[in-house]
Amino acid sequence: MKPALLLSALFLVVARAAPLPVDEALPLVGAAGHGHTYPGATVPFGFVQLSPDTRTEGWDACSGYHYSDSTIMGFSHTHLSGTGAADLGQVLIMPFTGGLDEGAGYKPLAAERFQSRFSHDDEKAQPGYYRVSLTSYSITAELTATAHAGMHRYAFPASEQGHLLVDLVHGINNPPTGADLKIENDHLVTGYRSSDGWARNKTVYFVIECSRAFESFGLEVDDKPLEPGLTEAKGKNVRCHLDYRTSAGQAIVLRVGLSPTSLEEARENLQTEIPTWDFDAIRESARAAWNENLARIRVDSSNPNIRQTFYSALYHTMTAPTLYDNADGSYRGTDNVVRSSGFHHYSTFSLWDTFRAEHPLLTLTEPERVNDFVRSLLAFYQESPDHVLPLWPLTSCDTECMIGYHAVPVIYDAYRKGFRGFDAELAYRAMCDTARSGRNWQDEYQKLGYVSAETGKGKQAASRTLEFAFDDWCIAQMARALGKTGDFESFIKRSQSYAATFDPATGFFRGRTARGSFREPFDPRAVSFDDFTEANAWQYAFSVPHDVPGMIKLYGGDQSFIRKLDQLFESDSDIGNYLIDVSGLVGQYSHGNEPCHHIAYLYALAGAQYKTAQRVRQIMLTQYDNTPEGLDGNDDCGQISAWYVWSAMGLYPVNPADGVYVIGSPLVEKATINLDPKYYAGGSFTIIAHGVSKQNGYVQSAKLNGQALNRPWITHEELVKGGTLVLDMGVLPNRSWGAEN
């Protein structure tokens, strides 16, 4: 036996490197089912979304990609994330090999012809980067993006017949109305594409630079080839192919600048943002931008599913609104005038969805953009012929989709939280003009005190009344803040209109005719657009976020209000006339659509926080995961995702504009919101959930900055001054915690 050395066992503390937020975010979450997300490359809030198109027809083509597909028709430069209506998919490029014609005669260069098979096993989607093997051609395609430009890298096999297709006909519910495509020289192609669609009358200009000169090319208009020698194609349906002799492993890189205003600006955007041929450098910039944005909320969880679900959701809250301008800030207004603005102009506001939780979240995670969001909405107001705030602006067009005037809460929430980078008086005028316009039954609402129900007209009368009332509450608050006392009185009165559409006999908000009676027949489960918006009476039964005590009174007090909430969740899920939007059902509650999003948090405001905790947990665990199936309905530009971001941290803005965050049931062990010191003095706010696990979901007690917290909410001011909220979590409900409000 050898003498033993006097040495204690060595305990090396190996710091476990936490994964970077950017590595936890999975763009493919939501790409199956009806999530309608796209997997391609973009930067936060970028104008360009360079992503594979696998289909262009049908509801599940809204983002151009569906996870169940097995072929790709090419990579186009603009896409919508999570919407229920389709558009964009502009300027498609597809690499392929082989001959161009089949049999006798000329065959048009349609993207459908050249689509390639692909497998999810050979596909990688990361924030700012997408790669896929186009197995039909043995080509590896990689994509990355900047705000106004896209970059492609295509690794071809050795081939005498390598090609790039540029297809300006292709689009997603976006038929071309005119185009130009010019071969400037052997490595430069420029042009524009005008189109109609959901957003009417839009044009995108582009320059495509190729790292290697093509050897030949072919242009086509209206499915007919142009004469050899001609270098410019103009017309409605324009395509071209660029031809290469390729050798294995030799990549062709493309950099593509886009602009909504001019070819010159497209060139400028490209030069400003992609001055290099180094694909990996641009990819790294996109990755760094994402990581910087995603790290604004740091969450700890030992459960990788939860971390990935969280960061995938946070990622998707940063895919809209999107820039609709040039790198220098010039943009095309809804009046078709190009302006230099001094701010960055955004569009793609899915306001009926995103006013609820996404815009309140962005006031914390993206404060540097909030003033520009508001300025962009106000520009729409100023430039629109009707002088109203837009409903659902996309490109420079208001699609006028959905109801309400929910630009109002977005603007008021920003103002309430101290954002002053816009003209408040102008904002207030915009609110009032919109609320008083005759556009969408606002006039009738003002006269009658509610929007009247009429069968078969799709008036969505009860929903309009409820949502107008909430928006009016926001205008009233804005009026008060600006010292307009008379207006405050007038709008606060309007904000009580919700009561006019409540039927105490059935205990539901209902469609009410102009003569005052409630519309018959009535079935609270029946989904229709008669009295409700993509919903039924159950799903709109709690749509008074601005006056919860008043709503509780309508239902007869806390206890019967709680019973009503219980019934919502405990009924079976028969919804009469099935509508695909009404998904994510828990009883009659529909999480896959937006009107229900605040409802589980209402228990807390009626003295039963533990019931909020239970339902919020159930929804997080059943309606989300870290797979392509991970969203239970259209993400709607990030609202479904924003619900999860808030809820997994343990908070939710029940009233999206009053700066109160109701406490639910955090899933993560710790969440730190890192506040931008340019906007908030507090540094950071941390929520710690002691003892939390999948099983431990009930708040036992809470401390805010070391002081006992008994109410089930905190204010925006408490949050942004920084500090720590500690929640002690347990497996059983503590019915007394948070019972006082």
Do residues 50 and 89 lie in contact, with contact meaning Cβ atoms separated by under 8 Å?
no
Tell me which stretch binds its own copies (CB under 8 A): 79-87, 302-310, 358-366, 428-436: 302-310
Asked if 214 is part of the footprint of its own copies (rule: CB under 8 A), the reply reads no
Asked if 117 is part of the footprint of its own copies (rule: CB under 8 A), the reply reads yes
Tell me, residue by residue from 624 to 663, as one string, x for binding to its own copies by CB under 8 A and - for no binding: -xxxxx--x-------------------------------
Nearer to its own copies, 377 or 582 (CB): 582
Q: Using CB under 8 A, which residues numbered 32 to 61 contact its own copies? A: 32-34
Tokens coding 386: 């009707």
Asked if 585 is part of the footprint of its own copies (rule: CB under 8 A), the reply reads yes
Tell me which stretch binds its own copies (CB under 8 A): 63-71, 398-406, 423-431, 547-555: 63-71
Contacts of 608 (CB under 8 A, 6+ apart): 558, 562, 735, 739
Distances (CA, A) of 38 to 34, 44, 52, 126, 657: 11, 14, 8, 11, 30
Binding residue for its own copies, selected from 58, 249, 275, 304, defined by CB under 8 A: 304
**Beta carbon of residue 668, minimum distance to its own copies (angstroms, whole number):** 12
Do residues 394 and 347 lie in contact, with contact meaning Cβ atoms separated by under 8 Å?
yes
Binding residue for its own copies, selected from 20, 23, 59, 100, defined by CB under 8 A: 100
Contacts of 449 (CB under 8 A, 6+ apart): 497, 500
Q: Using CB under 8 A, which residues numbered 245 to 284 contact its own copies? A: none
Tell me, residue by residue from 702 to 741, as one string, x for binding to its own copies by CB under 8 A and - for no binding: -----------------------------xxx-x------
Tokens coding 223: 């499915």
**Beta carbon of residue 490, minimum distance to its own copies (angstroms, whole number):** 43
Tell me which stretch binds its own copies (CB under 8 A): 95-103, 432-440, 489-497, 504-512: 95-103
Give the separation between CA 211 and CA 489, rounded to whole angstroms: 64
Nearer to its own copies, 177 or 571 (CB): 571
Place of tokens 């936490």: 18
Give the separation between CA 647 and CA 632, rounded to whole angstroms: 15
Nearest to 399 by CA among 456, 351, 434, 358: 351
Give the separation between CA 9 and CA 714, rounded to whole angstroms: 48
Q: How far is CA 219 from the centre of its chain?
A: 37
- Classify residue 340 as exposed, middle or buried by CB count within 10 Å of its CB (0-12, 13-18, 19+): exposed
Tell me which stretch binds its own copies (CB under 8 A): 145-153, 356-364, 449-457, 567-575: 567-575
Tell me which stretch binds its own copies (CB under 8 A): 6-14, 52-60, 483-491, 679-687: 6-14
Q: Using CB under 8 A, which residues numbered 125 to 164 contact its own copies? A: 135-137, 161
Nearer to its own copies, 14 or 505 (CB): 14
Residue 651's H or E segment, with its range, is: strand 651-652
Binding residue for its own copies, selected from 5, 342, 385, 456, defined by CB under 8 A: 5
Kindly give the residue spans of alpha helices, DSSP state H, lying in 336-441. Answer: 351-354, 358-365, 367-383, 407-416, 424-436
Place of tokens 């190729």: 210
Tell me which stretch binds its own copies (CB under 8 A): 81-89, 321-329, 511-519, 688-696: 688-696
Beta partners for residue 688, in sequence order: 670, 726
**Beta carbon of residue 10, minimum distance to its own copies (angstroms, whole number):** 5
Beta partners for residue 354, in sequence order: none
Nearer to its own copies, 570 or 676 (CB): 570
**What 8-state DSSP symbol labels residue 91?**
S
**Beta carbon of residue 330, minimum distance to its own copies (angstroms, whole number):** 38
Nearer to its own copies, 55 or 617 (CB): 617
